[in-house]
Structures are given as C-alpha cells and as structure tokens.
C-alpha cells in the first residue's frame, strides 16, 4: 500500500522515552505487515521552545496539517513553568488541536484483566470495564473570549487588585458536531450515550443538553441517550463505571473525567487518546494521537515510564487513520498478553507483584509478543 505519512512529535519529559517504544512498534508493522510509513520527526513543547523560541514552529504546524496522522508524546515540565503564558509548552499542543480543528477527543478506558487488582477500585467494580469518553477539544473555556489577567482598576474591595478571566462559550454547531461523533461511535459499541454538563448552573450547559438531545431526536433516535450533571458523573464514574458506554462532555469536564477514568484502569500510563477532526477529501479525519498522561517530570529520564498509553495511541491511529482495524486489535492483544505474562513498569507494581520492567523492556516485550503472532 502507499505509504501513510506520520509526523512524530515526542515532546518533553517522558514523551521521547515512550515514543521510542512506539517507533519500535511502527517498524515492526512495516517489517511484518506490509505497511509502509513515511515517518518524520519534529519538535513540540519545551523542546521546540529550546530550539525555536516558540512551543510550535510554523513549519511544524504546516507539516501537521499535511500528514495522515500526528503522534505526540507529551509536553511540559518545571523548566518552563515561568515562561510567558503564550510560550508555554502546553500552548504548542493547544495550537495543534485548534488549528487542525480536532474537535472530538476519544479517550477510551478499558480495564485489562491482568490489571484489575491494580485499579484503585475493587476488582468487581472494574472487571471488563470498557468506556469511551468523547471530550470536546477545540472550544469551551479553554479557548473562549474574553480571557486574560487584568487590573481591577482601583477597586477597594479586591485585595490584590487583579482579575483572572476565562469564558465558557459553546455554539450549537460545536455541540452538534461532537455529539454526532459520540452517537456514531456508540452505534459501533454499546449503543448508549451519556452526556455530561452542568445545566443546573451554566447556560452553556443548558445549550449543551438541548443540542445533544436535538441531534439524538433528529438523527440518532435509536441510540439510548441520558443526561447527567458532570459532578454526579464524576461520582458515578468511581461508584459504578460500567453503567457507561460512551460519555460525551465539554473540554474542561472531559479533561477531569478522563484523568479519573484513567485510574480505573490501573494507571494513567495506560490511557491512549485520538483527537479527530472532520473528514478530509480522502475520507479520513485529520488526526492527532497522544497518551492522556503528561510529561511526568517526576520520573523522566529514569526508564520508569509506562509506554503502553502511547503504544495504544498508535493502535488507535491504525484503526481511525489507516483503516487497519485488524492490526490495531493485534497490537492491543499483544499489550494484553505482555500484561498477562506479568510485565510491570513501576506505575503498575502493586502488592501482587509481577516482573519489573523498564520502559524499553516493556516496548521490547510488546514487539516480541507481536512477533509470535505471525
């Protein structure tokens, strides 16, 4: 097949460490499954700032717009905490999401049986868990105007004299398109969508609820739809997570809820994500794949990072960008097998033990598990 173009942006902290393991997996699929990837590497986040003085160079942005898929490691770190807001590593990632218009962020949380005892919840609560959070990614309070930090005149009632402002803003169009993504995905899974907002306190939440209901009634009447306040949703997610199939929610609630969902699976180091835009001319969506976790400065450079979230993000790329669903499932099974065999990065070491492995040993084992499946 014609080569798929892939832009690899390892980023900062553990980003490059976990991405090195993904590259091994990419190479394996090229060598063993007749796939061909045209891979280019570039900088994002703090590493881009160090080289270019900005967290994402314009040339890198332009490249991202042209490739079939972007793979990103993680950005950020204490070294960059004092930078001007516009230069922070996180702005590089947000620019990619915004300019590629990647409005649907898919964050699946699946509990691998081998890790069920490692979840912070009881095995009975998480066994077989398979939920998908669809987070709106290009709007809401992350991008709404007005925003900023301002002087509050000489307001005598404001000690410190400053105001910080962000705006939660959603258009009906933005809500409808991400709702459609959620319903489409639900049709191929458990056929159930739960929409989360805070319609009890926010007008944007009322609009969210009405528009999701509208898309349901007009376009997906056969998918089961429920609505939940996001705070209750957080509680339900840890009380009985298996009640959910697909959750659709806004940018900020989705950020929080997906970190919480991550822990249900045992570790933040396990959770992949796909950020998808509207279909391009070739029928495939613009896409960026990245783990849910960050650059983990506390463990960076020590070979302790779990590469599975990033590797499973590549599995999502195989599925959503390259129409290689079988290859994606094969990779997911290889991960499952390695975990069942007891391989554990530090984040997965619990009382029940296992074989401690480094980041690169975990990658090697996954590649070896793939190789036994020819």
- Which spans of this chain sit near ligand IPM (rule: CB under 6 A)? 76, 90, 93-94, 255, 292, 294
Residue 296 marked in a binding site: yes
* Residue 297 binding: pick among ligand IPM, ligand NAD, Mn ion, none (C-beta 5-8 Å cut-off by kind): ligand NAD
47 and 12 Cβ atoms separated by less than 8 Å: yes
CA-only gyration radius of the chain, Å: 21
Distance (Å, whole) CA 109 – CA 130: 6
- Whichever of 102 and 292 has its CB closer to ligand IPM, that residue is 292
- Whichever of 15 and 285 has its CB closer to ligand IPM, that residue is 15
- Whichever of 15 and 277 has its CB closer to ligand NAD, that residue is 15
Is 142 tagged catalytic? yes
Q: Does 136 bind Mn ion (CB under 5 A)?
A: no
Closest separation in Å from C-beta 117 to ligand NAD: 18
- Give me the phi and psi of 109, to 5 degrees please: -125, 110
Is 58 tagged catalytic? no
Is 151 tagged catalytic? no
6 and 40 Cβ atoms separated by less than 8 Å: yes
Angle at CA of residue 254, ends 297 and 26, nearest 5°? 60
Distance (Å, whole) CA 193 – CA 259: 19
Residue 236 marked in a binding site: no
Is 27 tagged catalytic? no
Q: Does 362 bind ligand NAD (CB under 6 A)?
A: no
Instruction: Point out the catalytic residue in the list 27, 217, 231, 326.
Output: 231
DSSP reduced 3-state for 281: coil
Instruction: Point out the catalytic residue in the list 170, 198, 220, 250.
Output: 198
Distance (Å, whole) CA 155 – CA 157: 5
Answer for which of 136, 255, 330, 347 binds Mn ion (CB under 5 A) is 255
The DSSP element (H or E) to which 90 belongs, if any, is helix 89-99
273 and 105 Cβ atoms separated by less than 8 Å: yes
**Which of 295, 346, 272 shows the shortest CA–CA distance to 16?**
295
Build a one-symbol-per-residue string for 4-33: x at contacts with ligand NAD by CB under 6 A, - elsewhere.
----------x---x---------------
- Whichever of 93 and 264 has its CB closer to ligand NAD, that residue is 93
Instruction: Point out the catalytic residue in the list 12, 245, 250, 255.
Output: 255
Beta bridge partners of 11: 74
Is 50 tagged catalytic? no
Ranked by CB distance to ligand IPM, the top (closest) residue is: 90
**Which of 133, 172, 178 shows the shortest CA–CA distance to 285?**
178
Which residues make up each annotated binding site for substrate? 97, 107, 135, 231
User: Which residues are part of the catalytic machinery?
Assistant: 142, 198, 231, 255, 259
């Amino acid at each position: 097949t014609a080569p798929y173009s892939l832009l690899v942006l390892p980023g900062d902290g553990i980003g490059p460490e976990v991405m090195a393991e993904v590259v091994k997996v990419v190479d394996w699929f090229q060598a063993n499954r007749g796939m061909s990837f045209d891979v280019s590497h570039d900088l994002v986040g703090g590493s881009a700032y160090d080289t270019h003085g900005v967290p994402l160079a314009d040339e890198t942005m332009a490249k991202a717009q042209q490739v079939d898929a972007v793979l990103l490691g993680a950005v950020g770190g204490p070294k960059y905490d004092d930078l001007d807001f516009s230069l922070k590593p996180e702005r590089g990632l947000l620019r990619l999401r915004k300019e590629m218009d990647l409005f649907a962020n898919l964050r699946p949380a699946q509990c691998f049986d081998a890790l069920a005892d490692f979840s912070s919840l009881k095995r009975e609560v998480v066994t077989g868990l398979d939920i998908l959070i669809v987070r709106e990614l290009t709007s809401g309070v992350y991008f709404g105007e007005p925003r900023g930090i301002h002087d509050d005149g000489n307001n005598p009632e404001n000690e410190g004299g400053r105001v910080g402002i962000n705006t939660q803003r959603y258009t009906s169009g933005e809500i409808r398109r991400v709702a459609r993504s959620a319903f489409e995905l639900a049709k191929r899974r458990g056929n159930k969508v739960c929409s989360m907002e805070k319609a009890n306190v926010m007008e944007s939440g009322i609009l969210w609820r009405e528009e999701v209901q509208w898309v349901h009634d007009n376009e997906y009447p056969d998918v089961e739809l429920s609505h939940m306040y996001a705070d209750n949703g957080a509680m339900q997610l840890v009380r009985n997570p298996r009640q959910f199939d697909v959750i659709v929610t806004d940018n900020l609630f989705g950020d929080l809820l997906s970190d919480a969902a991550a822990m249900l699976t045992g570790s933040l180091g396990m959770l992949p994500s796909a950020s998808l835009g509207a279909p391009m001319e070739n029928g495939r969506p613009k896409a960026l794949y990245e783990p849910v976790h960050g650059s983990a400065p506390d463990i960076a450079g020590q070979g302790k990072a779990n590469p599975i979230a990033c590797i499973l993000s590549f599995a999502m790329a195989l599925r959503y960008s390259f129409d290689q669903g079988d290859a994606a499932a094969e990779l997911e099974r290889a991960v499952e097998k390695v975990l069942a065999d007891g391989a554990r990065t530090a984040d997965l070491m619990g009382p029940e033990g296992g074989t401690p492995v480094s980041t690169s040993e975990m990658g090697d084992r996954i590649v070896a598990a793939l190789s036994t499946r020819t």
